[in-house]
Amino acid sequence: MKPESNLEKVLVGGHFAVTGELGPPMSAELETLKHHADAMRNHVDSYNITDNQTAIVRTSSIGVAAALMQMGLEPNVQMTVRDRNRICLQSDLLGAVSFGVRNFLCLQGDHAKFGNEPQSKNVNDLDSMQLIQALKNMRDEGVFISGEKLEHPLPRIFIGAVANPFADPFEYRHLRLAKKIAAGAQFIQTQCIFDMDRFEKWMEKVRELGLHEKVYIMGGVTPIKSIGAARYMQKNVAGMIVPDELIDRIRGAKDRKKEGLNIAIETIQRLKEIEGVAGVHVMAIAWEEVVPEIVERAGLYPRPQVD
């Protein structure tokens, strides 16, 4: 089967891929989101759409994916196992595939405690590993988790997963990646990289196992908009490392926003040099308008036209 997803084609074609990220709003009004999507339409290969990120109720990832498809843009639908059981996850996958979604990113999801419905039940019927495997089996074996057959084969979907080199135990993180690949992950997007030394150490271990040859690894990059945002990520976002030196560098700059962008661009430049890194995932949440500038200044524009 040939790749159907643009992102997969870009990666298979050996190009350094760029994905963007859109966070759906806490309403059904998608005009701002569409505006952001449109503004980076020539700068990213695909758009991640977050799934009720940090457990806050928002328009569903699949709902936004439909809007994006109508604009001729390619979504990468994030699916967490926090809010849906296996019945719903498999059903939602079919629904999304039915209107043309081909990229899916499997995640565990932040605990509901962090969101705006902290009293809700955390589902976690499957874990993220099992979701990856379930999607692979639906596509490759034509079977649901139950073992029952799909009535019609799935088209070629592109299965993604996440990796967090900044979480602990560090010595296990590359092994967890290996497990996700064994489960069926074809591309990986990492947590935001601010601690490049640690990322490089992780990549060394990844290369030792030859994992970079089995999966496309995209480094997560987030431009820091302000000292406040950096401090917030440092203290409140689970599984992130934001070194103090980075914050000091921004604090010492004349134009702090510009410095935030410079750091993001430098990060991408370094990622391009690391063996085994196949692309970047730019997460400029609440600062979407800077994505074109980052992509251009990082030398990743124009995006490859593949078919």
Partner 1 sequence: MIVGERKPLAEIAEMLEPFRKICVLGCGTCVTVCLSGGEKEAAETAAALSLLRQKEGKDVEIFTHTLLRQCEYEYIDDFSKNMPECDAILSLACGVGVQTMTARLPDKIILPGLNTQFMGYPLEQGVWSENCLGCGDCVLDLTLGICPITRCSKSMLNGPCGGSQNGKCEVDDSIDCAWHLIYERLSKMGMVDRMDAIQPPKDWSTSHHGGPRTMIREDVRLETGE
Which residues contact partner 1 (rule: CB under 8 A)?
82, 86, 108-111, 113-114, 122, 124-130, 133-134, 145, 162-164, 166-169, 172, 175-176, 178-179, 182-183, 191, 238-239
> Nearest approach, Cβ of 13 to partner 1 (angstroms)?
29
> Nearest approach, Cβ of 130 to partner 1 (angstroms)?
5
Q: How far apart are CA 124 and CA 188, in angstroms?
A: 21
In the bound state with partner 1, the residue whose beta carbon lies nearer, of 45 and 83, is 83
Distances (CA, A) of 148 to 54, 78, 143: 33, 25, 5
In the bound state with partner 1, the residue whose beta carbon lies nearer, of 129 and 284, is 129
Question: What are the tokens at 294?
Answer: 């980052």
In the bound state with partner 1, the residue whose beta carbon lies nearer, of 57 and 238, is 238
> Nearest approach, Cβ of 58 to partner 1 (angstroms)?
20
Which residues lie across from 79 on neighbouring strands? 106
Q: How far apart are CA 51 and CA 61, in angstroms?
A: 5
Distances (CA, A) of 87 to 148, 170, 227, 273: 13, 33, 43, 42
> Nearest approach, Cβ of 85 to partner 1 (angstroms)?
9
Q: How far apart are CA 79 and CA 160, in angstroms?
A: 10
Helices (H), 41-169: 61-70, 86-98, 128-140
In the bound state with partner 1, the residue whose beta carbon lies nearer, of 5 and 190, is 190
> Nearest approach, Cβ of 306 to partner 1 (angstroms)?
30
In the bound state with partner 1, the residue whose beta carbon lies nearer, of 176 and 257, is 176
In the bound state with partner 1, the residue whose beta carbon lies nearer, of 39 and 145, is 145
Element housing 104 (H / E): strand 103-107
> Nearest approach, Cβ of 139 to partner 1 (angstroms)?
17
Contacts of 98 (CB under 8 A, 6+ apart): none
Residue type (1 letter), 178: A
